[in-house]
Each structure stands twice: as C-alpha cells, then as structure tokens.
Amino acid sequence: MATASWRKDKGSSSERGYTYAWSKARAAYLREHPLCTMCADMRPPRVTAANVVDHSVPHRGDMAIFWDRSLWQALCKSHHDSDAQIRDNGGKQRAKFDERGQVIW
C-alpha cells in the first residue's frame, strides 16, 4: 500500500529547509565535492560533475538529519533523480548496465 509523501504535508520547499542558508551550504559542499559519488563507484568508474547534494539518509523533515553534513553526498542529477529517489521511496533497484551501456538482465 502506498503512503503519502511527507513533502505534500510540509508546505513549500523553504518551509522544508531549502532556504538561502541551504543554498549557501549546498554550493560550498559541491565546491568541496565536485564529482558524483555514484558515478565514481561504478565499474568502470565515471567522472561526472555533481550538481545535487543528496541526503544519503532521507530526512523526512527532521532538521537534525537535514543539516548533518556527514549524511550528505554529491550526486549528478541523473543519479539523484533515479537511484537516490528509488532508495528513498523503497522501490526496486535501478537496472544495471554493461560497459557498452546495454541493460544487464
């Protein structure tokens, strides 16, 4: 049974913590961690610029988790919008690809 997203009940993005302070912290983190960690962990590794700071533990509105930098990870948009979202929503794992980009079944 699907559950409602915590985001729908928490108001705007700024009310969820994504404020000017977050923008500054995010920019600083990406300067310190410019590459996507998931791309770097691939075999063979890929070198991809990170443009999203992901909370490796879904914070679900908990500001202690939200601001815990040890739980942040730099990701490219592709990984954030697929792998990280699937993880947060408890879904299936993303398809695996071989060195030619073909899906491994």
pLDDT tens readout for residues 27-59 = 999 999 999 998 998 889 999 999 999 998 888
Residue pair 50/33 in contact by the 8 Å Cβ criterion: yes
Q: Which pLDDT tens digit goes with each residue over 14-28?
A: 878 889 999 999 999
β-bridge mates for residue 102, sequence order: none
At 52, the amino acid letter reads V
Q: d(Cα 31, Cα 29) in Å, to the nearest integer?
A: 5
Q: Which residue has the tokens 């490219």?
A: 76
pTM of the complete model beyond 0.75: no
Provide, rounded to the nearest whole percent, the portion of the chain with pLDDT above 90. Answer: 45
CA angle 30, 54, 87 (to 5 degrees): 150
pLDDT digits (tens, 9 = 90+) for 58-76: 888 899 999 999 999 999 9
- Indicate the SS3 state at residue 73: strand
What is the chain's mean pLDDT, rounded?
80
